[in-house]
Amino acid sequence: GAVVSQHPSWVICKSGTSVKIECRSLDFQATTMFWYRQFPKQSLMLMATSNEGSKATYEQGVEKDKFLINHASLTLSTLTVTSAHPEDSSFYICSARRADRGASPLHFGNGTRLTVT
């Protein structure tokens, strides 16, 4: 089955620093990857859609200058949380869909738990 690898699984950083999260599709190509955030006991919230070779599309209320997304290849997308603050502490999850199947399911990475102190 399709595998999405996300790294790191967890990270603790100091306020004001930046953190980069990687999302890789291991056995398929993904023209589109999605970045979600989930706070405790809340539902998934789509932050942005990452498109290979073009700019990401951000959801309303998500600061594109704070959450930098780069999708440089068909198998890798990165999310950088810049100048992190404690309120950015959350569970960040990436997902990808196979490029050759429009209605294929999303496959999720294992998520990254970010704690900003």
Nearest CA-CA partner of 50 in 28, 67, 26: 67
Distance in angstroms (rounded) separating the CA atoms of residues 107 and 12 = 25
Q: Does 113 bind another protein (CB under 8 A)?
A: yes
Beta-sheet pairing, 90-97 with 112-116:
antiparallel
Site string for another protein, 68-107 (x = CB under 8 A): -----------------------x-x--------xx-xxx
Nearest CB to another protein, comparing residues 43 and 54: 43
What minimum distance in Å lies between the beta carbon of 44 and another protein? 6
Other beta carbons less than 10 A from residue 112's beta carbon: 23
Amino acid identity at 90: S
Nearest CB to another protein, comparing residues 1 and 65: 1
Please select the residue that binds another protein; options are 11, 13, 46, 74, rule is CB under 8 A: 46
* Region of 11-19, 21-29, 38-46, 72-80 interacting with another protein (CB under 8 A): 38-46
* Region of 20-28, 42-50, 69-77, 80-88 interacting with another protein (CB under 8 A): 42-50
Nearest CA-CA partner of 46 in 79, 16, 17: 79
Amino acid identity at 28: F
